Amino acid sequence: MMAMTHALAGLVLAALAVVVGGDPATVAVMGLAGSLFPDLDIYAGHRKTLHYPVYGWIPAGGAVALAVAVPTNATVALATFLVAVALHPVMDIYGGGLELRPWEGRSERAVYSHYHGRWLAPKRLVPYDGSPHDLGTAAVLAVPAMTLPDPVPAFALALLAVGAVYVALRKRLAAVWSALARALPEPVAQHVPARFFE
Ligand SMILES: [Zn+2]
């Protein structure tokens, strides 16, 4: 799923964290940060290095238990961050595979599971990132963010707007990325993942 959908899922967790007493501004930032964190591996072992669909729930579960036992701003914020980090790769499983043009459905690699020691196949409930289904998912996930204080609702709507533009341009962007990758000088190009040259 696209970054905007992940970010809005982070805000859903933030809205839940507020219900159990989290500071709204802090948990909103932590939910966003946690939901985007796994994709920092985009150029280095994408969907493997920082994606832990099973093991991610061990620290997340521990942090939730701690937040329930000792509910403070810090423990609730930590739990929000770690649950968002754990949720991200699970969402990726329900999207498309890892390839430049995921609408072609040629990749059977959604997310690497270090627990299983192999790649998990994409379930394609959301057929690919940047698909109309992805935007629909983002729109539903944006609803709980409306309960958070300003400027979070406006920010969530901005994420949706950026998502709508991304969805409209998604297939053309793949062609742009491919052309850019091919235009790179060799010393730089060797650091670009192979899928960009597909
Ligand atoms: Zn991801």
Distance 47 CA to ligand 1 centre (A): 5
Give the model's pLDDT for residue 167. 95
pLDDT at 181: 85
**Which tens digit of pLDDT belongs to each residue from 90-146?**
999 999 999 888 999 999 999 999 999 999 999 999 999 999 999 999 999 999 999
pLDDT number for residue 78: 98
**Longest alpha-carbon distance in the chain:** 55
Average pLDDT taken over every residue of the chain: 94
CA distance 128 to 110: 10
Tokens standing for 98?
């890892």
Give dist(CA 123, CA 108) in Å, integer: 9
C-alpha 123 – ligand 1 centre gap (Å): 14
Question: pLDDT tens digit string along 26-51?
Answer: 999 999 999 999 999 988 889 999 99
Domain assignments of the chain as residue spans, ordered by start: 3-170
Q: Ligand 1 centre and the CA of 120: distance in Å?
A: 13
Percent of the chain with pLDDT over 90: 80
Distance CA 105, CA 156 (A): 30
Q: Which residues surround ligand 1, an ion (CB under 5 A)?
A: 38-39, 92
CA distance 147 to 32: 16
- 198 pLDDT tier (thresholds 50, 70, 90): confident
CA of 45 to the centre of ligand 1 (A): 11
Alpha-carbon distances, residue 174 vs 11, 110, 142, 169, 177 (angstroms): 28, 18, 26, 9, 5
